[in-house]
Structure 1
Amino acid sequence: MSGGPRRILHVFPSFAAGGAQMRMTALANGYGARFSHAIVALDGDISCRDRLDPSLDVSFPAIQAMTGGLASRLRGIAQVLRRLRPDLLITSNWGAIEWAIAHQLTMRGRHIHTEDGFGRDERDRQIPRRVLTRRLVLRGSEVIVPSQTLYDTATRVWRLPAARLHYIPNGIDLARFSPADGVPAGMAVVGCVAALRPEKNVGRLIRAGAIARRDQMFQLTILGDGPERGALEALAAEAGLAVRFAGAVADPAPLYRAFSVFALSSDTEQMPLSVMEAMACGLPVVATDVGDIARMVAPENRAFLTPRDDQALGAALAALLADPARAAAIGQANRRRAEAQFDFTAMAARWAALLDR
C-alpha cells in the first residue's frame, strides 16, 4: 500500500484491562505513528483505552449489536468490514471468532488471530464444536499464542499448520518493573493482581489466606476490579481476613514493590502478565499450577506452585512467608529469569515482523 500508516482493526470480546488488551496497548504505544488503529469491543467496554498514548491515531467505531442467527450476524459483520476496509484484521480469542469467519468468507486482506487462554468452560477440556471451528476457520490465518501450552493445543488438537502458527511469549518493560531497594518494612504483604472474574478464582486465595494466617501474620492486597468484587469483600469479612481491595490501578509497578510475596489462584491461565511483572520486581510467586506458570518461574520457585486447592495454596503461602531468606533468594532468581525471557523489545520485534509481512 502507499500513503499513510497501515490501518489495523482489532476486535476484542472486551477492551477492559486484561492481558491481551494491555499487550495490544503496549505494542501500539511502542510502534507510534507506524500504524493507525480501530478497536471494536463487542461488549462495549473500552476502559483499557486509558492506557493508549493520546497521540496515537486510534478510533473506536460504533458497531451495532449483531443479532439473529449466525448467517445474519455474519452478514452484519461483513458490512462493517467492508465499511472500515482495514489493511489487517486482528481478532482476539474465541469471543471474536465470528469476525474471523466473516473475514474469511468476504474479504481478501490479511488476518491475524490471537488466542490467550480459555474461560472456565474450556478449562479442563476442549469443546468439540469450537475445536472444529478453529481448525477450519484459522487454517488460512496467522495465529499467535503466548504460551507453550497453547502452542501444543493449537498444534495437536486444532491441527493448525505450523507455518502459520507463531509462539510469541509476552514481554514487559523490565526497567519499569524492577525490584524494590531493600526489604519492605512492617508486616509481610501478599499481593495479587487480577481481574475479579470467575476464572481468576480470587475467592480461593482469600480462603487460602485464612488457612495461612493460622501460622503467619500478613496483609493481603488485591489489585483489580470486576463483577465479583462485592462477593469477594463479603467472603473476606466472613473469613475474618484483613484484605485491602485496591481496585484497578493504572500503574501497578510501585505497588508490586511493597509486596513480600505474589499470589495467583486462577482456575485457568496461559502466560499471565501479572506473574511476569511480579518476577521482574524480584518477587517469589505462589500460584496454582496452570498454563505456562511452571515454565515461567525460576526452577527454585516451582515447589510453591500447587493444585487448584485451597489447602495446598494456603500451605505454600505459609511455608514461603515463614522463610524470608528463601523467599528473597527465589525472588532474585525470578528477576534473573525475567531478564532472560520476558523482554518487551524482543516481543515487539517479533510482532512487528508479522504486522509488516
Structure 2
Amino acid sequence: MRIAFVSFETGHHRDTETNQRFRTVCDLLAERGHDVHWYCAGFWAGEESTYEHDGITYHAVATGTDARSSFLVRLPFVLAAARPDVIHVGPQPPSQVVATTWGATMARAPLVLEWYGDGGIDNTRWTRLAAGRPDRIVTPSELVGTWVRELGADGDCIETIPNPIDCDRIRDVEPGAEVDVIYARRLDAGANLESLLLGLAELRDREWQATVVGDGPERAAYEQLTADLRIEDRVTFVGDLDLEDRIAAYRGAHVFAQTADHCVFPTEMLWALAAGCVGIVEYHANSSAHELVEGRDRGFRTTSEAELAEAILAAGDLEHRTYDEAFADYDRSAVADRYLERYRTLRDEHGVL
C-alpha cells in the first residue's frame, strides 16, 4: 500500500510528542513493507527533492520551515500527482489539514487525521475547520477524542489507537533490582511527583523502597522534599535511563505510580504495566492515564495522597509479575494491524480497489 503522510514539520525539525507519534506510525507501516512517503518541509542538506531514511521517503514540498505558504499552495497538487492509496495528515499547522483535504479529493484517496494533542488543542477557526475535514480522526486516548469532539468533529469518525510498545523486547530484558514503587517522567513543573512523595510519607512506618527515574529542572526540589519528609533514605533518584534499563527497572518493581497532571497518553506507564507492574494513577482532568487502569484488577485510580497511600498498601496483596500478557494488544504488531484495518475499511468505503 502506498501511504502519504503529511506534516510540515518532522522530528528532524522539532522533537515534539506529536512528531514522535507521527514518525512511529510511519515506522510501523514501513516495517510491514508498505510504501511510506512523508511530505514535509525539507530538512536535509543538498538540493535533492527527496531523502530516504529507515524505509521512509521524505519529500520536500517546501525548502524549509520559513516557506509555509509555499508548502500549503503546492501540497494539493503534489498529493494529486503522487496518487497514494491513503493520505495521513498531522494537525499542526491546522491549515495543512485543509490543504491536504483538497489533495485527497484530487487524488481520490481517503484522509486520516492523526491528532495527538500534546500541549492541548486550541479552539480556533482553523482547528474547527480541520476537525470537520477528514474521513477518520485518530487520537491516542479518549481524553483527546473528547477535546476533538468539542471542536465539532463527528464522534463517529474518531477512533482511539494507543502508542505502541514492544512486548518481545520486554520479555528479553532481565528484571532489575526489586523495589516496591517506581515513578518515571521528566522532572519538570508538570511532574507532580510531590503527590507520590506525600503518599509515601504517610507510609513511613512501613517497609518500602521507591525509585524515581528521570531528570529535569525540578529534580533538586523533589530531592529536598524527600529530605523534608524524612524519607530520603527510602527514595532513590537514578536520573535518565535508556529504554532497556527502564524496562529492567519496571520488571523489578511492584508498583508504577503515575501522578503527572497532564498526559495525553502514558506511554511510560504502559511499558511498566506490560512489564508486570501494578498501576496506580492519581486522577487529573487533563491526563488520560486512568484509562489504562480502569476495569483492571491490577490497577487503582486515586484522587488524593491518602488514597494513593492506601492503594500502595492494597497493591502489596497482588502477586509480583515481570510480564503481563493482558497488554499484548498494545504491541507494535497489533497497533500496526489497527491502522492497516482502518486504511482498508476507508478504501472500501471510497470504492477504491
TM over 0.5: yes
Partners of 2:179 and 2:253 within 8 A in 1? no
Which residue identity is paired with 1:220? Answer: T
Partners of 1:9 and 1:90 within 8 A in 2? yes
1:177 paired to 2:165: no
> Aligned residue for 2:93?
96
- Relative distance call for 1:128 and 1:99 in structure 2 (3 A) is closer
> Aligned residue for 2:35?
35
Flag the structure with higher helix content. 1
**Aligned equivalent of 2:271, options 265, 271, 277:** 277
Q: Any residues of structure 2 matched to 1:65-104 within 5 Å, and which?
A: 65-66=65-66, 73-79=68-74, 82=77, 87=84, 88-93=86-91, 95-104=92-101
> Aligned residue for 1:221?
212
Deviation at 1:100, TM superposition (A): 0.9
> Aligned residue for 1:258?
252
> Aligned residue for 1:11?
7
| Cα distance in 1 between the residues matched to 2:94 and 2:219 | 35
- Relative distance call for 1:269 and 1:137 in structure 2 (3 A) is same
Q: Any residues of structure 2 matched to 1:93-242 within 5 Å, and which?
A: 93=91, 95-104=92-101, 108-109=106-107, 110=109, 111-119=111-119, 127-129=122-124, 132-141=125-134, 142-155=136-149, 157-161=150-154, 164-178=157-171, 185=177, 187-192=179-184, 194-195=185-186, 201-202=190-191, 204-206=192-194, 208-209=196-197, 211-213=199-201, 215=204, 217-223=208-214, 229=216, 231-239=217-225, 240=227, 241=232, 242=236
Deviation at 1:180, TM superposition (A): 8.0
- Relative distance call for 1:263 and 1:91 in structure 2 (3 A) is farther
| Cα distance in 2 between the residues matched to 1:55 and 1:29 | 8
1:335 paired to 2:324: yes
| Cα distance in 2 between the residues matched to 1:102 and 1:58 | 21
| Cα distance in 1 between the residues matched to 2:71 and 2:223 | 47
Deviation at 1:219, TM superposition (A): 3.5
| Cα distance in 2 between the residues matched to 1:264 and 1:173 | 20
- Relative distance call for 1:222 and 1:26 in structure 2 (3 A) is farther
* 1:276-319 deviation digits (Å, cap 9, x = unpaired): 2222111011223244433322433453x234xxxx24x45544
1:351 paired to 2:342: no
- Relative distance call for 1:83 and 1:299 in structure 2 (3 A) is closer
Deviation at 1:321, TM superposition (A): 4.5
| Cα distance in 2 between the residues matched to 1:12 and 1:209 | 41
Q: Any residues of structure 2 matched to 1:238-249 within 5 Å, and which?
A: 238-239=224-225, 240=227, 241=232, 242-247=236-241, 249=243
Partners of 1:187 and 1:217 within 8 A in 2? yes
- Relative distance call for 1:100 and 1:173 in structure 2 (3 A) is same
* 1:99-133 deviation digits (Å, cap 9, x = unpaired): 112323566344321122342x55xxxx542xx53
**Aligned equivalent of 2:292, options 296, 299, 309:** 296
- Kindly name which structure, 1 or 2, has the bigger radius of gyration based on alpha carbons: 2
C-alpha RMSD of matched pairs (Å): 4.0
Partners of 1:104 and 1:137 within 8 A in 2? no
Which residue identity is paired with 1:59? Answer: Y
Deviation at 1:7, TM superposition (A): 4.9
Partners of 2:250 and 2:275 within 8 A in 1? yes
| Cα distance in 2 between the residues matched to 1:258 and 1:81 | 51
Identify unmatched segments of 5+ residues in structure 1. 45-52, 68-72
Deviation at 1:212, TM superposition (A): 1.4
Percent identity reads 16
| Cα distance in 1 between the residues matched to 2:142 and 2:73 | 33
Partners of 1:178 and 1:280 within 8 A in 2? no
What SS does the aligned partner of 1:348 have?
helix
| Cα distance in 1 between the residues matched to 2:40 and 2:3 | 13
Which residue identity is paired with 2:222? Answer: A
Partners of 1:189 and 1:261 within 8 A in 2? yes
- Relative distance call for 1:326 and 1:254 in structure 2 (3 A) is same
What SS does the aligned partner of 1:328 have?
coil
Which residue identity is paired with 2:337? Answer: A
- Relative distance call for 1:256 and 1:12 in structure 2 (3 A) is farther
| Cα distance in 2 between the residues matched to 1:166 and 1:212 | 37
Aligned residues: 311
* 1:54-91 deviation digits (Å, cap 9, x = unpaired): 65144374742247xxxxx4444323565576535433
What SS does the aligned partner of 1:160 have?
coil
- Relative distance call for 1:286 and 1:135 in structure 2 (3 A) is same
Flag the structure with higher strand content. 2
